Structure 1
Amino acid sequence: MTRPILLIVDYNLSRVDEVRHLRDHARERHGARVVLVRADPTELDRRIADEVIDLDPLRDDFAEMGEKLLGDRREHIKAGIVFSDNAVRSGAELLERLGVTVDASRPAGGAFSKYLYRLSEARVADLLRAQRVMVPACAEIASLDQLRTFAAEHPEGFVVKPATEGNNRGVVVVRPGDDLTAVFAEVLPYRDGGVIAEELIPYRREYSFDGLGPLEFLTEKISAPGRYPVEIAQVLPARVAEHERATLVRAGRQANLLVGQCDGPFHNEVKLSDDGLRAAVVEPNRRPGGMRIWSLARWVYGLDLHRLWVDTAFGTAPGAPELVPGCAAATVLLGVATDRSFSPDDVTAGADPFADAVRRTAERLGLAEGALTVAEFSWLSPQRRDLHAVARDNADFAAQGCVVLRGGGVDLRTVVHALREAWPHALDRALRAPAPLRNAR
């Protein structure tokens, strides 16, 4: 008898381990073959899937072509997962054409294009404002004159960012008096995909409303201050009061409604006012959060969301369990002390700077032995890259580490900041020799 097929539509290369985990569970729990659809597949793709189809989800005819290529296996395709922002709309349309259960494709564009999402908010602005959800003013920016017009309309400041880019790339906060010509030059590389200017959200704290189907939890985001507000850590569980939780959940659910999320995953970034009564959606996503948020959930709640996602796709998932935290966990992005050229090969063989930084952090904060442990560590790229000490986007970080904190007595956010202070010194001690920045950017 032919095995059922799980169709995975696209993924970002940084998440290959997650795709491998989805594949393993599909095979073990459902006896399924895994067919992966993505553009320009590599040998790695062929190793993590039973079959790979070369098709770009950004093609205008992606769904039509995918249906033709998979039509002869339609009766065996029993489940489908869309695992990238690029494919969120076209991938859902392909699964709809194949008769596979998936969240609706038509509203999914708002989970890919920040501009389309703001347009969808504007259409129901009165409803959102009645729920104390801010609707930021927004405009497409294709020229310096348009940028100047938006700046004149928002003299208190605003944000300029790519309409479809992720990972904080290209996001610039514009303050009164800033050089608009320089700002426009910074976002110029993203103009082909669209650039938008957006009213500054006047709320300092940021969280994400994460989950799968009816299952939900809140993750706290820590961002860098200043001109480049890149995220530097994700903390779970988020420490919020009950009224703050209610505000964040209300905003997060409304974002899900606008982008058509129902049964699948979501990661909606939401800012919260100081009084905890108002919120604004930074952006919605119909996929698991990055920075290992689902891994954090596994350590904190003891729940494997990747397995649950596969089971949901096959229609065999049990009801949503109650989430009770057993510990706290964080993912921390780690940079360099000075502007420099960096490669993991610069680190002395056998050195473990992250373990060293975690150990020194625990000592500095007076934590009991075993209270703070390393859960994961990875270099963000094996390639040599020019990195800045003040990160301009997530590509300016050298590594990513996850820690688990057990027991009370210290706030995990305090641990995050102490760890980020300890890391550059630990990394410098582990380096063979300093290397200057090769090319300023």
Structure 2
Amino acid sequence: MFVSSLLFAAQLAYIVPPEGAPMRHPSPVALPLVSTAFEDVRIAVALTGDRQRFARLRYGEPDSVRVTAVLDLHESGAAALYLDQNRDLVITNDELVPEVSEDARAWDVSLSAHVRNAEGETNPLPRRLCFELNESASILAASTLGWLEGEISIGEDATRVRRRDSNVNGFFGDHGDQLWIDRNGDGEWAAFGELYSSLPFLTLPEERGRVRYAVRSNREGDRLRLTEANEFGTIEIALHRAGAEIRDDVRSVEAILVGRDGTVVSVREHARATEVPTGDYRLSTLTLQLSPSEEDPEQPDWTFVFSEAFRPTEASWRRVAAGGALTLDPVREALSLELALPENAKTLTIADSVRAQPYLYLGADRLLIRNAYRGSRGWIGPSQLKGTVSLLGAGEDPLVTYTSQFL
């Protein structure tokens, strides 16, 4: 088990400063715009513009329902933004976002990032976002405003830190999110020497030389502790085909692993080891992007998202020992389809009806498939990727057929 724990980590507060304050706006991330409304979204407002554009943003867990944005554009240059803030897939009049100013073509809005707790329940994290539209109305960019800030201990010193959301998902502890450390205590937050990328380890200059620290943080990023990294091992995600051959169709992979103390590490390279602090880890989320088949190479890539469905058992944990190497192949084992029945299913008679829920799990880790789409950002996807489940009778004729899709 980990010697250090997030129970002793510093609590960081989410701060959004007034407009015009330094560091209020991180670099925005462009959202692809399409001209056709998404099939699974109902537009319950009268759009009066000459043309419309549509975008989606995954804000929170990789399997959370995407937030739909609708731009109503006029030839005069005026633009209105509607945002599906409650994620009910219905755009209504009260979801019109007011502009920052009349000619700004920018909108500030409150939006919660959805995160799952240990019981699988969705908890909202209050955040504030900014959306910006360029002059030609071809790019809609988004950023999470503000930062997380607090005081942590580095060696014997109490030091203020800030964290910023670089990939616009509402979390501040992801791989590559910004970590600012005010080493000289002047409150100036200098980009040179005080800006770091959120990685499992970072090296800081000390009077005794350069010291390596393990970055222990939860996924949300509001718990943070730096501990000297005296011991570490590696984790590698290596996906194989039916034999021992490493798969060559993996475009990208990201595995989120959680330690017993709540520390989160991200493994983002296929078949290449990533250094992590020693301890016990379980696989929490897997995002896998695969290239199309050789028979149809012009088609978009496939992306699949799997995540935990239940509270972890003791079998869920894997040890990373000092100097040790842990290699995982989450997709080596076959998918399993299970049917969940209500409690009264055992007492049903022939004339009764029953509602059954199918679940598709991945391998021994029993990660539940949460999402699938095609294309780099999923704009070819959820409404077109449908699964069909049929209940067969004795003669293998379908008694009932159900079709579902990802959101």
In our comparison, the structure showing a higher alpha carbon Rg is 2
| TM-score by shorter chain over 0.5 | no
Instruction: Return the structure number with greater strand share.
Output: 2
Q: What is the TM-score of this pair, normalised by structure 1?
A: 0.26
